[in-house]
Structure 1
């Protein structure tokens, strides 16, 4: 055991430092995302979802760094990963919109052009009504929109990014162009 510790002393120290840095980065990232969510009045469930995505990204980054530290042969690992990703890529080709919806959900979180409780009109030729919708929920894949007559429309996040969306103001907040002096 002592021989192992002596032989791989640098790798063990670098791994410990990497773990410490990843924990610090995770803490800072979580605090930042929660602060953005609190400042922009975003629902806690959305904030937790984005926190989970950031944590998964940091974990993947950590695996990459630790693999580099321990001198993993990237040619052999690259061959395995390229084969696996080729199979996964073919399998996921039909469901590429899932990834675009998740990405759009993350973008909507950080850009926060609208939030739950806002009324919006979506300029989409496939939506028959031009009546405004109330945003009830924003999830990882879709936005739940409700009409005044109670109908519920589940609209994909990527379409919220692609289509023109008009944010409606409550009547007391409508700017009339005149300001008091």
Structure 2
């Protein structure tokens, strides 16, 4: 065992350096995502989801760097990875909408101008149907990784995919703060 450690001392040092760097990056990126979440007044569940995505990406990056350090035979690794990616590719092609909704969920976290509690109008005639007014309004109940929960004025809950919310026009009707002010003024 001591002979193995002596022969691979530089690989061990590089491995430790990579793991420390990944840990530092995870802490820094997670803190940055939490700060963006706090400044944007986002739901903590959404912030935790983005932190989880960051952790997954950094883990995969560390795995790739460790394979470089330890000199894994790329021909053997290439065959293994191509087989795995072929199976995953077929599975993801069948589930492409799920992948696009996750990506849209990350985009919504960082750049979506609407928050939970806001009332919005989605400019989608297929959504409202012929019996509705020109466009219905919805209150945002929750923003998840795959979809938004929207409450109609009659109390129905609509689950709307994240990728669709990025493709359609969305009008901010009122914010949560405006609605609470209107309710409080109505009580006086």
User: Normalised by the size of structure 1, how large is the TM-score?
Assistant: 0.91
Give ranges in structure 1 of 5+ residues lacking alignment: 174-181
- Cα distance in 2 between the residues matched to 1:91 and 1:31: 33
**1:102 Cα deviation from its structure 2 partner:** 0.2
The corresponding residue for 1:139 is 144
RMSD (Å) for aligned C-alpha atoms: 1.3
- Quick check: which one's helix share is greater? 2
Q: Classify the secondary structure of the residue corresponding to 1:61.
A: helix
The corresponding residue for 1:76 is 76
1:97-116 equivalent positions in 2, closer than 5 A: 97-116=97-116
- Any runs of at least 4 consecutive aligned residues in structure 1 with deviations exceeding 4 A, and if so which? none
**1:169 Cα deviation from its structure 2 partner:** 2.8
**1:95 Cα deviation from its structure 2 partner:** 1.1
- Is the 8 Å Cα contact of residues 40 and 112 (structure 1) preserved in structure 2? no
- Cα distance in 1 between the residues matched to 2:24 and 2:81: 29
- Cα distance in 1 between the residues matched to 2:33 and 2:27: 10
User: Normalised by the size of structure 2, how large is the TM-score?
Assistant: 0.88
Which shows bigger deviation, 73-82 or 136-145?
73-82
- Cα distance in 1 between the residues matched to 2:106 and 2:78: 29
1:1-181 equivalent positions in 2, closer than 5 A: 1-128=1-128, 129=132, 130-170=135-175
The corresponding residue for 2:181 is none
